Amino acid sequence: MRSPVSRESAKAGLPPGTLVHVGTPRSEKVRITVFGYDEKDFNERETRAEDCADALKKRAVTWINVDGIHDVAIVEKVGTLFGLHPLTLEDIASTHQRPKMEDFDNYFYFVLRMPYFQRRGGRIHAEQISIVLMKNAVVSFQEREGDVFDPIRERIRRNKGRIRKCGADYLAYALMDAIVDNGFAILETLGERTESLENNVLKEPDPAVVREIHALKRELILLRKAIWPLREVLANLSRDDSPLISKSTALYLRDVYDHTIQVVETVETFRDTVSGLLDVYLSVVSNRMNEVMRVLTVIATLFIPLTFLAGIWGMNFEFMPELEWKFAYPVVLGIMILIAATMLIFFRRKKWL
């Protein structure tokens, strides 16, 4: 709960543009990989921050990927090499941004959030991914080494699909597409959990269900918050008439836009379902409670009057003539059975049994 806020507030008072890493502290070495490619060939290597701009212009498209942003010195070096605005650098280093697009004169800056399941606890977290789209290059910044972009690397290496034939805008699109498609994978897992929760609620409701519903709701909100603002980003992008985005790529962006809406709509449907589950759970619990109460009522209502009768003839008064009657006992038992039977019929009429 605290994380999106707690560190941001540590910056309060610093002049804007100050480069401070805001996010989970990490100690891994920052890894910078450079991909250069055109339709004919590609090359791929790991490099130091100082050298990453060298690759530019050797190939039609250059993709620089920075894994790890906790070393702000490296982010700053890369940023300076590519002429990024101080606000962009600050946003890259503050990992709790809302997805957005900013249009600087010579580049587009995208902030995206990629939800993933934490190894421990299995709860959803969202990693911030920054993408800077320039004329012939894409620079991407990830919080941690991830594998969501591996299929794209593979497509570049093997020249699969259109990627090697298109420009940097198509690469940026491919990265965004990978992130949105990753949302479907998350949704699949959440869908399975919703479904199993649904079965639990209807079959054997136990109090843990309430916590799970609460947790699921929060994860759906987190997923929604990560994907929802993308909608606006992509809508603006396709309306935009920038030379950085070619017309053919715009068609593909429309496609990601559709996927974004689909993710958000499915999240909403899941939220509706999960909210509905709480109602179902509460009414299932209340039905069970009623059943319990009905049994108590029937037993108590049946035996309390009979016990009273037994108590009457258990009194020690000297002058209780019926005590001496010969058939008093069986008659009394008969009367008791009669009363019980009458009550049972009454209960059955009332549908309490």
Residue 305 C-beta: closest distance to its own copies, Å: 5
- 44: closest CA among 65, 68, 24? 65
List helix spans (H) across 113-246.
Answer: 150-158, 168-203, 208-239
DSSP 66: E
Residues present in the chain in total: 353
CB-wise, 29 or 353, nearer to its own copies?
A: 353
| Of the residues 296, 335, 337, 338, which one makes contact with its own copies according to CB under 8 A | 296
DSSP 30: P
DSSP 236: H
| Of the residues 136, 242, 290, 342, which one makes contact with its own copies according to CB under 8 A | 290
**Distance of alpha carbon 191 from alpha carbon 266, whole angstroms:** 9
List helix spans (H) across 19-143.
Answer: 72-82, 86-93
| Of the residues 123, 162, 165, 348, which one makes contact with its own copies according to CB under 8 A | 162
CB-wise, 28 or 337, nearer to its own copies?
A: 337
Residue environment code for 287-303, b if the CB has 16+ CB neighbours within 10 A, otherwise e: eeeeeeeeeeebeeeee
Residue 155 C-beta: closest distance to its own copies, Å: 5
* Residue 121 binds to its own copies (criterion: CB under 8 A): no
Residue written as tokens 């709701």?
A: 217
| Of the residues 29, 48, 160, 165, which one makes contact with its own copies according to CB under 8 A | 160
Looking at 27-35, 58-66, 234-242, 246-254, which segment touches its own copies (CB under 8 A)? 246-254
Residue 267 C-beta: closest distance to its own copies, Å: 10
Residue 119 C-beta: closest distance to its own copies, Å: 19
CB-wise, 29 or 160, nearer to its own copies?
A: 160
Looking at 41-49, 53-61, 122-130, 189-197, which segment touches its own copies (CB under 8 A)? 189-197
DSSP 109: E
Long-range CB contacts (within 8 A, 24+) of 212-216: 213/274, 213/277, 213/278, 213/281, 215/123, 216/190, 216/270, 216/274
Number of amino acids touching its own copies (CB under 8 A): 123
| Of the residues 30, 114, 178, 227, which one makes contact with its own copies according to CB under 8 A | 178
* Residue 76 binds to its own copies (criterion: CB under 8 A): no
| Of the residues 106, 287, 334, 341, which one makes contact with its own copies according to CB under 8 A | 287
* Residue 188 binds to its own copies (criterion: CB under 8 A): yes
| Of the residues 20, 73, 300, 341, which one makes contact with its own copies according to CB under 8 A | 300
Say if CB 17 and CB 45 are below 8 A apart.
no
CB-wise, 43 or 286, nearer to its own copies?
A: 286
Beta-carbon-side half-sphere exposure of residue 331 (alpha carbons within 13 Å)? 8
Say if CB 245 and CB 169 are below 8 A apart.
yes
Task: Determine which helix (DSSP H) or strand (DSSP E) holds 300, and give its type and residue range.
Answer: helix 247-312
Looking at 36-44, 119-127, 130-138, 206-214, which segment touches its own copies (CB under 8 A)? 206-214
* Residue 107 binds to its own copies (criterion: CB under 8 A): no
